[in-house]
């Protein structure tokens, strides 16, 4: 009996994914545990492997399709496979139905309507995806209220329903209608479909701007003491802690932890008419991945040591580049840090990562003249920015929080002494 390849459990609150790309074609040989298809969720990409060795059967879904957890993707016929099956072009040439014959790849399916017919049918009646339909029924939401969905052929997804339910109670202005008629592309342009991850990032950032009262406060930090500490103990630190490298991020994480304990509203979130205060810190660290920016979470960062923080961040960075981060590692953050300085950014205003209420932006270290004790000196300076939700955090708290971070980084001994 063929071994089925199905959509695996994707993590808490994730019920669907998009077929990003097929890594193996029908008729190709696959080894046990060899990746055959890549799925893209709202947060990360996931590779699904063959359960047994053999020959891959037909693709049950196409690239770009949205699939639910447990949906059948393909099957594997146990035994020796073959080279990739040639494209089934004969039906297109003859226009007739081929007689049954043995083949290592899929044959044309005459019963399937042409793509243009399918699109017309989809436009005539576009049903929400199952998970979305269930949520709409539970919340008494009509498809007309939501409008066109973001799924394939305009189908309403669960994310569309969640976004609709999270909209403010006051009526929001409707988006401007698209320009009439299709856009005329220049021959020198290239049109690429937006990935699911990129769409999710775009929607979340826009939702943050629409929902939160975002304000940013700035300060600058003299990095002299932190740089000297790193230079003095870099080699000893690496030898003592199994190759973990001493960087500035662990200093900033510990500085933020100390400031969050002093100003708990910065670590809180708004939930309906309530404010949720936390007695722990789950620190999100923004890292660049193969498919865009992701924010893995240092859980209980307030209990972590310098070497534990550096080791965890190094692991996050490597696995983000390899696309190996797990869904659960990206959820549950209470405060985030993003470092645009590694790309050369001198100053920016970071956007909140909902439902968090604040995010710290680090930037490039640059030698600048500053006044110290009445003298102009050159010091390595970094601009830092704190973007925060003014609905829950007052300006005084935000400014004081950033000053507390500045004091800790400029004199790291304060972190060791708990001052």
The DSSP secondary structure of 353-394, one letter per residue, reads -TT-SEEEEE--EEEEEEEETTEEEEEEEEEEEEEEETTTS-
From 32, 55, 85, the end of a domain falls on 85
Is 231 a domain residue?
A: yes
State the CATH number of the domain containing residue 319: 3.30.559.10
CA dihedral 46, 51, 55, 57 (to 10 degrees): -60
The answer to whether residues 331 and 297 touch, using CB atoms and an 8 Å cutoff, is yes
Question: Helix or strand or coil: residue 312?
Answer: helix
Q: Is residue 373 part of a domain?
A: yes
Say yes or no: 311 and 390 in one domain: yes
Q: Are residues 79 and 131 in the same domain?
A: no
Q: pLDDT of the chain along its 419 residues, tens only? A: 788 888 887 765 567 888 888 888 888 888 888 888 888 776 667 788 888 888 888 888 888 888 888 888 888 887 655 444 444 444 444 444 444 444 444 444 444 445 444 444 444 456 776 667 777 887 778 887 777 776 656 777 776 777 777 665 544 445 555 545 577 888 888 888 877 777 777 887 788 888 889 999 999 999 999 999 999 998 999 888 888 888 899 999 999 999 999 999 999 999 888 999 999 999 999 887 666 678 899 999 999 999 999 999 998 888 888 777 787 888 889 999 999 988 899 999 999 988 899 999 999 999 999 999 999 999 999 999 999 999 999 999 999 999 999 999 999 988 887 77
Task: From 104, 136, 165, give the residue that closes a domain.
Answer: 165
Name the token pair of 188. Answer: 């020198």
pLDDT at 407: 95
The secondary structure of 47-85, three-state, reads EEECCCCEEECCCCCCCCCEEECCCEEEEEEECCCECCC
In the set 232, 300, 322, 394, the catalytic residue is 394
Same domain, 76 and 139: no
Judge if 362 and 218 occupy the same domain: yes
Number of domains comprising the chain: 3
Measured distance CA(280)–CA(402) in Å, rounded: 19
Provide the residue range defining the domain that includes 139: 125-165
- Residue 61 belongs to some domain of the structure: yes
Distance from C-alpha of 184 to C-alpha of 293, rounded to nearest angstrom: 31
Residues 271 and 405 in one domain: yes
- Give Dmax (Cα) for the chain: 93
Q: Domain for residue 21, yes or no?
A: yes
On whether both 252 and 366 belong to a single domain, the answer is: yes
Q: For residues 258 and 267, what is the distance between their CA atoms, to the nearest angstrom?
A: 11
User: Which two tokens mark 258?
Assistant: 């100390």
Active-site residue flag, 390: yes
Let me know if residue 337 belongs to a domain: yes
pLDDT in tens, 114-136: 544 444 444 445 677 666 777 78
pLDDT of residue 161: 76
The answer to whether residues 46 and 129 belong to one domain is no
- 131: domain CATH number is 4.10.320
C-beta separation of 296 from 323 below 8 A: no
- Residue of 145, 300, 322, 390 with catalytic role: 390
Instruction: Specify whether 364 is located in the same domain as 266.
Output: yes
On whether both 266 and 155 belong to a single domain, the answer is no
Q: Which residue has the tokens 């699109």?
A: 119
- 390 and 266, same structural domain? yes
CATH of the domain at 41: 2.40.50.100
Which of residues 61, 85, 109 is at a domain's end?
Answer: 85
394 is catalytic: yes
Residues 34 and 135 in one domain: no
37 and 149 both lie in a single domain: no
pTM here? 0.60
């Amino acid at each position: 009996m063929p071994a089925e390849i199905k959509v695996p459990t994707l993590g808490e609150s994730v019920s669907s994914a998009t077929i990003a790309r097929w890594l193996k074609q029908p008729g190709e040989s696959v080894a046990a545990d060899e990746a055959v298809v890549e799925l893209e969720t709202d947060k990360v990409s996931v590779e699904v492997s063959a359960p047994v060795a053999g020959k891959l059967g037909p693709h049950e879904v196409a690239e770009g399709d949205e699939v639910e957890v447990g949906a059948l993707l393909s099957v594997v016929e146990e035994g020796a496979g073959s080279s990739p099956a040639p494209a089934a072009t004969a039906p297109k040439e003859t226009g007739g139905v081929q007689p049954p014959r043995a083949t290592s790849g899929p044959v044309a399916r005459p019963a399937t309507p042409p793509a243009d017919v399918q699109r017309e049918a989809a436009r005539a009646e576009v049903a929400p995806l199952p998970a979305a339909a269930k949520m709409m029924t539970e919340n008494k939401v009509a498809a007309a209220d939501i409008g066109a969905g973001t799924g394939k052929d305009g189908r309403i997804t669960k994310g569309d329903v969640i976004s609709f339910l999270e909209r403010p109670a006051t009526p929001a202005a409707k988006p401007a209608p698209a320009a009439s008629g299709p856009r005329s592309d220049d021959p020198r342009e290239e049109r690429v479909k937006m990935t699911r991850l990129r769409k999710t990032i775009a929607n979340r950032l826009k939702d943050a701007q629409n929902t939160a009262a975002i304000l940013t406060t700035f300060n600058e930090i003299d990095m002299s003491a932190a740089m000297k500490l790193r230079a003095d103990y870099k080699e000893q630190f690496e030898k003592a802690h199994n190759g973990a490298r001493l960087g500035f991020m662990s200093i900033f994480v510990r500085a933020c932890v100390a400031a969050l304990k002093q100003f708990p509203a910065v670590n809180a979130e708004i939930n309906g008419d309530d404010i949720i205060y936390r007695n722990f810190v789950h620190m999100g660290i923004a890292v660049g991945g193969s498919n865009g920016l992701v924010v893995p979470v240092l859980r209980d960062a307030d209990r972590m040591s310098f070497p534990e923080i550096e080791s965890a961040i190094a692991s996050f960075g490597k696995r983000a580049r390899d696309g190996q981060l797990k869904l659960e590692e990206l959820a549950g953050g209470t405060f985030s840090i993003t470092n645009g300085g590694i790309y050369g950014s001198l100053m920016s205003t970071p956007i909140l990562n909902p439902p968090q209420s604040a995010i710290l932006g680090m930037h490039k270290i640059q030698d600048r003249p500053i006044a110290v004790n009445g003298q102009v000196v050159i010091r390595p300076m970094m601009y830092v920015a704190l973007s925060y939700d003014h609905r829950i955090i007052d300006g005084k708290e935000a400014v004081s929080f950033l000053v507390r971070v500045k004091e800790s980084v400029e004199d790291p001994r304060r972190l060791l002494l708990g001052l």
